[in-house]
Structure 1
Amino acid sequence: VALHRQYGLDDPVLVEMSDTGAYTVRVIDRAPIEAGIGLAALPPDELAKESLSEDALTTGVGFALLAGFVEDLQVRPVEEGIGTEVRMVWPVGR
């Protein structure tokens, strides 16, 4: 949502959840993937030197937090058009 606001996008952010086999959450937006993963790729010391907008900082911190508690985290471009898919998977004990 922060990236949509930053880029002035009116498209909805799609959220899908499934508990078939494992608990999976997919979040799909229409912001350029570079916007989503650019900050996450920076080493912490370089990130600290960056002059970031509040939205950019929110995105970078969000990915750092997700990486810390998600069993399987994938960030990739959408198959068609511009956008980013974030897929998070946790095992389900049944």
Structure 2
Amino acid sequence: MSSSEPVALRLIDREFLIACAPEERDGLLEAAGFLDRKMRELRANAKAPSFERLAVLTAISVTHEFLTLRKQHDAQEQRLSDGLATLRSKLDAALESDPLKR
């Protein structure tokens, strides 16, 4: 079992120390970089929001993007599943009508 180590993350010129397992460090840094870019993007389009308001706006924006992508993924997965079921039915029908099978 690995122990947690503090990692320094910067979001809009503020530093946060967050404990994480060494194997999660790169992912956490990548997530913080993504979040920082989103916060800066929203800050550029807002009227001097506080850090807290900017964090909430960014959380809502990122969550909306995530849910949209998840719905798209679920729809694609359902289409794939339906397509495989149709293919399986056609294959079963072809095998049942195979004259060599009789």
- Asked if these proteins are the same fold (TM beyond 0.5), I'd say no
TM-score normalized by structure 1? 0.26
TM-score normalized by structure 2? 0.24
Larger radius of gyration, structure 1 or 2? 2
Q: Which has the higher helix share?
A: 2
Q: Which has the higher contact order (CA 8 A, sep 6+)?
A: 1
Q: Which has the higher strand share?
A: 1
